[in-house]
Amino acid sequence: MNHQIIVKNYPVGWLQESNFEYRQVPIAKPGESEVLIENRFLSLDPYMRGRLSGSKSYAPSAELGQVMVGSCTGVVIESRSNKFRPGDTVLNTLGWQTHGICKDTELKAIDTSEIPEHAYLGVLGMPGVTAWTGLIDICEAKRGETVVVDAASGAVGSVVGQLALARGCHVIGIAGSVEKCNYVVEELGFNACINHQAPDFKDQIKNILPKGIDCLFENVGGEIFETLLLLMNPFSRIALCGLVSEYNVNPYGNRCLRSILINRIKFQGFIVTDKLETWPAIIKELKQAYLQGHLKYKLSQVDGIENAPKALIDLLKGNNFGKQVVKLS
């Protein structure tokens, strides 16, 4: 049987497990130029919250009654395509299900000889390309500049910091616990990391940034972003990648936009899928960095597709630690 999680209804406020429904359906048979895949890993990412809404965004909503959207890695178990053979490991967008049929044009073969499969959902996948695009393309980070990234221990933030360090930047992370901050500094090599849960967070972040911020990679929004806005330098840049603190609650009212004016900040939103043509070269660079040991990451894994809804909610609450995946088989 194919085990699926479908979208039952859209949340109002916080996402709930009850917004999803588990079901089993028979495994289908591939048609011509199609393959049948058994998925091993499902990627969970903050963008998924944006799909669970009827309102207009940059991508269509996940459809009610349909399998929840997402990227997976898995193995081909039956093929009617001359491009793939049983046993091939592939990246696909089958979403939250253990099995599925794909056209052979909707798949990408991945090489797992030197690289673990789940890396293609993280450092060498969409989150890694997101980090690169925001830091290099939008922020134009240069040697000697100070880079700040929040959600620093996460799939995107951890890559942002490591890429910035490799470019000779001074890198400060922000994360949601002492444990995460320790990991970011000790394992990933960030120059410092501040716990935004600390009661004196605002003082701490100000004190650690005597020379201000040149590049801000923004994942979180809310009061954290407002605090950081006041620490931006003249002619600094902000890559707006996410506002995860605001996805499940009423949006925060940001009172510090004057900083954008007086500091002549470039503040730019971006979506990594807008420039698919840039991906191959970026992934090549990321792969090289990974193989040289300069792109570490931490895997946060839950087992079984029935646990995916709770794991996504935990991710949105910041309760996970590292790149979140669901092990499917």
- Positions touching a second copy (CB under 8 A) are 50, 56-58, 221, 225, 234, 240-243, 246, 250-258, 260-271, 274
Query: Cα–Cα distances in Å, from 8 out to 149, 210, 276?
Result: 34, 49, 31
* Closer residue to a second copy, CB minimum distance, 143 or 255: 255
When the beta carbons of 103 and 258 are compared against a second copy, the nearer one is 258
Q: Give least dist CB 214 to a second copy, A.
A: 15
* Residue 240 to residues 91, 159, 164, Cα–Cα distance (Å): 27, 16, 16
Contact present, 243 and 250 (Cβ < 8 Å)? no
Nearest to a second copy of 10, 267 (CB atom): 267
Bridge-based pairing of strands 146-150 and 170-175 is: parallel
Q: Nearer Cβ to a second copy, position 33 or 248?
A: 248
Q: Supply the minimum distance, in Å, between the C-beta of residue 46 and a second copy.
A: 11
CB 151 within 8 A of CB 124: no
Minimum CB–partner distance for residue 247 and a second copy (Å):
9
Instruction: Report residue 76 as tokens.
Output: 């081909």
User: Shortest approach of a second copy to residue 8 CB, angstroms?
Assistant: 24
- Identify whether the C-beta of residue 97 lies closer than 8 Å to the C-beta of residue 67: yes
- CB proximity list for 96: less than 8 A, separation 6 or greater: 4, 5, 6, 42, 67, 68, 69, 70, 305, 308
Q: Identify which of residues 18 and 273 has a Cβ nearer to a second copy in the complex.
A: 273
CB of 109 to a second copy, least distance (A): 30
